[in-house]
Each structure stands twice: as structure tokens, then as C-alpha cells.
Amino acid sequence: MRQFASTGFRLWNLGAAAKLLYSGFCLLTFLGVVSSALYYGDLVGTGTRGIKRYYAGDAGPAAAAPAAQPTTGPAIDVPEEADRVGAPIVVAVSYRKLLEVTHFHLFTMPVVLLIVGHLFLATGLSEKWKVAWLVAATASVAAHLATPWLVRYGGGGLAFLHALTGIGLTVTMSVLTLYPCYAMWRGDRAAPARAPR
């Protein structure tokens, strides 16, 4: 940690063991980002139907009652709910479950952001680009943590926000995890040559 506090520290100045450790952390974190994207892709399915169903309990048109089939027997008067034999029962995520998931993510996501953010700060990018990527990553983490609540209590029509913040989170965290690995192992080729002393 002393190295991070020193002025002018860059990742390519690390020893091989530290580079391996930080690269392993970044690559495993990136795999976590990818698995999260795949999970939400599976949850989303086609469009935002999965998000609406999970958070808001909105079954949408997929759960509509099947078309009545012509019968040759006597007509039986059946309540409307019984006509929906094939329709899934959809219930919005509970307040307690949403609070549990948010609680867990509020403790883990900022820590991951802090660690990869520190590694990202030790790259050779300009201060302007570092600030831009870090602000975007922080905003996407915060927004992605908030959107389940918006969808749950604001309605399924806001499901697109969860999908958009998920894309933002995937992109920004991918940059914050992969670019430090690239900078760590490639060295400072973009820096101007220093005059010998």
C-alpha cells in the first residue's frame, strides 16, 4: 500500500508477484462482471420482461390466457382464473428480499469499486479520463442499486432503467478491471522520454 501512496507510482513499477496478484484480482472481478451480465441477460430474456416479472410482478402478455379450444362436449361454466391453467403465477419481489439483496450489494460493490478504482488511478491515463471513468463507474453502481426499487415500486414500465444501468455497469467495470492489467504488463510506452541525469 505504501507504493500507492508514493507520488508518481504506476502499476508497471510493481514486482512480478504484485502484478500477478493484482492481475488475478482484476481478471476474477471481470469474470464476476461477465457472470452478472449473463445473469441479468437471462433474467431479462427478451426485452425487459424478466425484470418486470421479477421486481414488479408484471407477467405481461406472455401470461395471457390460452385461446379457448372448441369442444364437442357440454359447456361448463368455469371461473376466469381456472382458464389460465398454463399461466405462471407471478408475484413481485418482496420488500424484505429486495432489502436483503440491496444490503449485500451496498457492502460489496463499493469495496470492489474502491479496489479497482485505486488500480485504475495508477495507470498512465490523463487525469481527465481517470475522473470521467471513475465518475461513470460510481454513477452506474449507484443507479444499478437503485433501479430494482424503482421497478418494484414505480412499476414494470421502468424496467428498461435496470437494463440500461446494467449495461453501464458492465462497460465501466470492465474498463476499470481490464485497463489496469493492460497498463501493468505493457509498461509506460505513452510517457515522454526522460532525459538521463
pLDDT in tens, 67-90: 555 556 666 665 565 455 555 666
Q: Within 13 A of 10's CA, how many CA atoms are on the CB side?
A: 18
Question: Is there a domain that residue 71 lies in?
Answer: no
**Is-above-0.85 flag for pTM?**
no
pLDDT, position 73 = 65
Structural domains in the chain (count) = 1
- 155 in a structural domain: yes
- The answer on pLDDT for 193 being more than 50 is no
153-167 residue pLDDT tens: 998 889 889 889 989
Domain of residue 99 covers: 13-64+80-186
Asked if residue 109 lies in contact with residue 145, where contact means CB atoms within 8 angstroms, the answer is: yes
Residue (of 119, 117, 116, 115) closest to 185 by Cα position: 119
pLDDT tens-digit readout, 97-137? 889 988 888 999 999 999 999 999 989 899 999 999 999 99
- pLDDT of res. 180: 92
The DSSP call for residue 78 is: -
Q: Tell me if 139 is assigned to some domain.
A: yes
CA end-to-end span of the chain: 28
Is 156 a member of any domain?
yes
The pLDDT of 14-26, averaged and rounded, is 86
pLDDT at 18 over 50: yes
